[in-house]
A = this chain, B = another copy of it.
Amino acid sequence: MAEHEMLDEWIEQEGPMTEVVVSSRARLARNLKGVPFSPRANESQRQFVAQRVRQAFEQHDELAGYHQLDLASLPADERVRLRESHLISREMEKGGVGRVVLLGPRMDTSVMVNEEDHLRMSVLVSGFRVEEAHRRILAMEEKLEQSLPFAYSEKFGYLTACPTNTGTGLRLSVMLHLPALVMTEQIERTMSPLGSFGLVVRGAYGEHSEHTGDLFQISNEVTLGKTEQQIMEILNEVVRQVIDRELAARQALREQARIKLEDIVCRAVGLLSSARMIDSNEATALLSRARLGVGQSWCSIPLDHARLSRLFIEVQPAHLQFREETQSPEERDLVRAEMLRAMFGEN
């Protein structure tokens, strides 16, 4: 518990955290007893699962504010937008019978129904707050467990479609912004040993996404044979080390290549405040560079770390499509540039 308290104290130092950590997330995988896992279930079994989960939400006053979205009938662009917001997976984006997502009123909690598992609950919080995400996901699970009989084995723990999730069913992850480790070519060296701690590194948008915007997601890989406390401690400890390395790399750049760094940051801000067309990849890359200049006096950046983190999501195609009902990628490039100019102070 001493470990836990120390960490909490460290979180209070909000500066270094939001500088590097975009968000923390907790996810729990659960399945209903007596029903085949979703990939092997037939349509009526999947619809049965969806029905049961919906009812469970309706039975709890505290879960009443949730939106129910039927992915089988939801337009494709809406599904993409949910994926861009990290609220559903690429697999769920495809839609399909019985696939439902329940979204918390503040859009930071979600339950995917009939993805790989019957239920995948998720809580997303800004900054480095793994404990808080964990606490909230357990509270949600507790409520749902009152109405839903989860498949559980004394020997293995919670049963899941994929063996890597069996046991606690818990996946904790942290999204990190690591531009200095990328710039100084230390990212490989930093990330490659993480596998030996049972951790896995992905891009901002899951397993096959590239590290656009210098965003990296670190999460635990296996939940079987470990307690939730162990998973959390390992992740927190490793992420803390990665944060320290990133901060050290930024410090070194500021000391040893200050003008070069300032040039990179300010050129990015210059382009964000002047471009008339910009695609999501370029926007993300420029936002990443601009984020390195927050809190420095190099050039005017009228946004804080948290706002810039949100912008990584808001510049994605479906978000822009929703924002302005744009029709084509070209139109979105205009709307994106306009939005960014307004944020960065039009040139």
Point out residues on A near B: beta carbons under 8 Å: 259-260, 262-263, 266-267, 269-271, 273-277, 298-300, 334, 337, 346-347
Contact = CB atoms under 8 A, between A and B. Distances in A.
A270 B274 contact: yes
A300 B275 CA distance: 13
Q: Which 9 A-B pairs have the closest CB atoms?
A: A270-B274, A263-B276, A270-B270, A266-B274, A263-B277, A262-B276, A270-B347, A299-B347, A270-B271
A346 B275 CA distance: 16
Contacts of A299: 274, 346-347
Contacts of A334: 259
A274 B300 CA distance: 10
Given A267-B271, A269-B347, 9 more contacts: A259-B276, A259-B334, A262-B276, A266-B276, A266-B347, A267-B274, A270-B271, A274-B299, A347-B347
A243 to B, nearest CB: 27
Q: How many copies are assembled?
A: 2
Contacts of A298: 276
Nearest to A270: B274
10 contacts: A259-B277, A259-B334, A260-B277, A266-B274, A266-B276, A267-B276, A269-B347, A273-B347, A276-B298, A299-B347
A339 to B, nearest CB: 15
A266 B260 contact: no
Nearest to A337: B263
Contacts of A259: 276-277, 334
Q: Which of A270, A273, A274, A276: most chain B Cβ within 10 A?
A: A274
A233 B260 CA distance: 51
